[in-house]
Structure 1
């Protein structure tokens, strides 16, 4: 999945949810960008939730843009102040997005918006209720192949992530040996999707081996 292309706002409400990318100069939806602010010590800080005080410094949600902004001093230029950006700022954003997404899964579980377990996930897929299929990185190949086969037949077809191990998913969801899980369609999954799309600019959502092993539909 990729971030949406920049577009011209159609309403005042839409315009209020858009900002200018420091790197390209294009106005983009904020859902496709990362907000940064200047910390009290002069370091640039990622603000994924968009709630930290201070002027927002917006950059397109992809590794190249963040690295360019840090390397070329674009944060300082936009803020009209001397700011320091860590060379691994893009890596920081990736780690924060991964943690934010994992925490979002835990919240969805408690809100009844997420199910896990082979049979429950199959039922969600067959009922067309799954917005996202979240597979553990270290799950058995046979089980994953069966789940992915069901996902290809689902309508609508859910998104797919393979970002965490079974242990990480188990801790986040409060279960044991969580390998297969599904984020059910709804407002919660819509918000989660925005962060997944942003993360896709920094790393693949699934291992290459999964794509290579998945036969075309």
Structure 2
């Protein structure tokens, strides 16, 4: 059964957001399905059965879809939509990012700590830099000065960032090259629409930008 979406394009699968009308790659959008009980549920792994309903990964877009009953229009049937759907999606996306970090740590592809991250950056072995959003600016500036061309994720506070590493708090973390690093950038890109923070994808040689 096909999704409510655009057909796949030569550059890869693309889908249309039911709220904005924009057509974007699937990995940049959120998929929802209607459960057998008629409830709209997020399908962040894009694996649940049923026709997919797609939205841009932004809190305001999800809230618009809820308030304007766009899910029912797309499904062409009565559906039940939680009023706090955007909050639920934000929580799920945050968990997914932290799970990626935990997997990377167990695989030996992620580490934390100022000196360790600093050493990895100097050695050119960092694929993604993760910084606590409530960290002191002087420490972040020292690390970022070494992170030219490295994507930076700044979406979690120090307590949250410490969780995947089994610590009470963590301020600086880094992932090495690999599928988990690429996955974190994608997942963090989705989460950025639900949190104030940074997910910067600088081109080679460009310094990370702060927001």
Q: TM-score per shorter chain, which class?
A: 0.7 to 0.9
Using structure 2 for the length normalisation, give the TM-score.
0.81
Match of 1:186 among 162, 175, 178: 178
Q: CA RMSD in A?
A: 2.5
Gaps of 5+ in 1: 1-5, 207-213
TM-superposed CA distance for 1:181, in Å, is: 0.8
**Secondary structure of the equivalent of 1:185?**
coil
1:106 equivalent among 96, 102, 108 = 102
Alignment check: 8 A CA contact 2:100 2:183 kept = no
Number of matched pairs: 195
**Alignment correspondent of 2:150:** 157
Q: Give the aligned partner of residue 73 of structure 1.
A: 69
Greater relative contact order (Cα < 8 A, sep 6+):
1
> Does residue 1:120 correspond to 2:113, yes or no?
no
Q: Does 1:45 align with 2:41?
A: yes
Q: Does residue 93 of structure 1 match 2:89? A: yes
| Between structures 1 and 2, the one with greater helix share | 1
Where structure 2 has 5 or more consecutive residues not aligned to the other structure, the ranges are: 1-5, 199-207
Q: Flag the 1:158–1:126 CA change in 2: closer, same or farther, 3 A.
A: farther
**2:160–2:169 Cα contact (<8 Å) kept:** no
Q: What TM-score comes out, normalization by structure 1 length?
A: 0.79
Q: 1:34 aligns with which of 30, 37, 54?
A: 30
